[in-house]
Amino acid sequence: MPNIKPISDLRNYGEVLRDVAIGSPVFLTKNGHGRYAVLDIEEYEEYEKMRAWRELSAELDVGRRSGEENGWIPAEEVRKSFEARYRG
């Protein structure tokens, strides 16, 4: 069951933070609507890793589709392009 509290409970922030744990964020409401989430830092770091993975995966899919539709660039050509870009 989600842990939902009004933002006014932050007056006693120590009590709010005590309820935060991995897998158990505290959701804060403002005027009766969800507004903020307080997460354990480890859970936040995992969230960021997952988000970065999704972004990378989406970019890789774009590249794969481009290769399939427009043809692939030989590995040696890609290597030369990177060497020119990062050595020069």
Q: With CA atoms as reference, report the closest residue to 25 among 45, 44, 50, 51.
A: 44
Digit-coded pLDDT (tens) for 13-58: 999 999 999 999 999 999 999 999 999 999 999 999 999 999 999 9
CA distance 80 to 48: 33
pLDDT of residue 25: 96
Cβ neighbours of residue 6 under 8 Å, at least 6 residues apart?
28, 29, 30
CB 16 within 8 A of CB 34: no
| 19 SS3 class | coil
The tokens of 50 are what?
Answer: 């997952």
The tokens of 62 are what?
Answer: 């774009």
- Does the reported pTM lie above 0.85? no
